[in-house]
Amino acid sequence: MIKYAVVDTETSTIDKGHPFNPKAKLVVTGIMPCDKNWNQTKPTIYIYDHTYEAKIFEDFKVLLFHNAKFDIHHLRMAKCLDLNGIHIRDSQYAEFLISNQRHVMPSLDEIALKYLNGEQKIDIIKKDYWEKGIDTAKVPKDLLEQYLEKDLDLTRRCYQQQEKILQEQNKVALYRLGCADLKVLEDMEFNGLLYNKEESLNKGKELDGILETILKTITTFNSIPNFNINSGDHISLLLYGGVYTYDVRIPIGVYKTGEKTGEPRYKILQQQLEIPRLVEPLTKSELKKEGFFSTDEKTLLSLKPKSKEIKKLIQDLLTYSKTEKLNGTYFKGIPKLIEQKEWSDNIIHGQLNQCVAVTGRLSSSKPNQQNFDPAAKALCISRYD
């Protein structure tokens, strides 16, 4: 006989309970046994010692979650859940489909507000513990179980109505297919991508030198004080000219009293500098800010410089932007993300999102693995011969 259950976990608050942060621990799991119509049939099971209860899920074949991958990741990390032969249901993904992909990442509170006359999660733990910096493991068990029981019950009752709507909208087959995909996506996130962090950082250092050389070339054309190559306004002034207004600090004596006694005093004066035009801006490329023009890649590629020097300047600006993005997003950015998340063994555990894109396509975030630069893809190492 197929057995059904609603499942939810409570984790430590470190890094918002990110399942691949070694400091974010699984505290308690709630399992609410149900019949096929999602009516509760037995008291909720609470698991604290997940190693001891490693086989508890063998009794169930269909598991309902809200935001399933988060809970499944934690349960797999605790080595107490094997998804083989188990069907997954997710009330978050169900709501995303019901809304025709318009309700992005719907929360449990949001769907409860819709289906259960405004009924909400219990907020006492959030207010009295989490918001005061008290971690989940230190919350009294009776309060924690009360909180977990409410979440399970909200998920169960919302999903009872969602199943009916999915049937009415003729989306059951699509939903079941998405739930099957969910298991694959969870496995992909769980296993992650092995990344050559050391080589990435070495390439980052090489690009630092290249960026420095390009910047020196660009500044030979530049008379803007405190020029910032990452400022669209500064690039506009450099190429198209205009009036540059900036502040100058003029010393006017010293402080004679107070905490700053003896320190210099300054007066702030506004000064203006006329910057010459190097290239004519494109028609209709004006920005809302008067005197400034677009400097995006498409615009720069369409400019018609009258000299080889200015043509090279534009190319240097494009090369700098592309190189800096490669360095900041990938060669330096990915190692930084790995360190921030404390991912072990240099494995990237990015997110593959079903409940984001209005078109229904898969999206990726933290990092966006779908748009990896080829140079960064080359640093993803196979763990198999």
Q: What tens digit of pLDDT does each residue of 306-344 get?
A: 999 999 999 999 999 999 999 999 999 999 999 999 998
> Could you please report the per-residue DSSP string of 320-360?
HHHHHHIIIIIITHHHHHHHHHT-GGGEE--EEESSS-TT-
Which helix (DSSP H) or strand (DSSP E) does residue 293 occupy?
none
> What's the one-letter identity of residue 313?
L
Quick one: what percent of the chain has pLDDT higher than 70? Answer: 99
Q: Identify the CA nearest to 156 among candidates 245, 37, 273.
A: 37
Distance separating alpha carbons of residues 156 and 38, to the nearest angstrom:
6
Longest C-alpha distance within the chain, in Å?
A: 88
Distance separating alpha carbons of residues 222 and 119, to the nearest angstrom:
61
4-11/62-65 β-pairing: parallel
Distance separating alpha carbons of residues 366 and 346, to the nearest angstrom:
15
Q: Mention every residue, 6+ apart, whose C-beta is less than 8 A from residue 213.
A: none
Average pLDDT over residues 165-176: 98
Q: Would the pLDDT of 276 be above 80? A: yes
Distance separating alpha carbons of residues 15 and 30, to the nearest angstrom:
22
Q: How confident is the model at residue 1 (pLDDT cuts 50, 70, 90)?
A: low
CA distances in angstroms from 188 to 89, 194, 347, listed in the order given: 18, 12, 12
- Check residue 226 and give its pLDDT: 85
Q: How confident is the model at residue 248 (pLDDT cuts 50, 70, 90)?
A: confident
Domains in the chain (CATH in brackets) are 4-191 (3.30.420.10)
Distance separating alpha carbons of residues 346 and 339, to the nearest angstrom:
9
Quick one: what percent of the chain has pLDDT higher than 90? Answer: 82
Helix (H/G/I), strand (E/B), else coil: 366? coil
Q: How confident is the model at residue 114 (pLDDT cuts 50, 70, 90)?
A: very high
Average pLDDT over residues 133-145: 95
Q: What is the pTM of this model?
A: 0.86
Q: 152, 44 in Cβ contact below 8 A?
A: yes
Q: What tens digit of pLDDT does each residue of 27-47 get?
A: 999 999 999 999 999 999 999
- Check residue 242 and give its pLDDT: 93
Distance separating alpha carbons of residues 31 and 45, to the nearest angstrom:
5
Q: Identify the residue with better confidence: 18 or 385.
A: 18
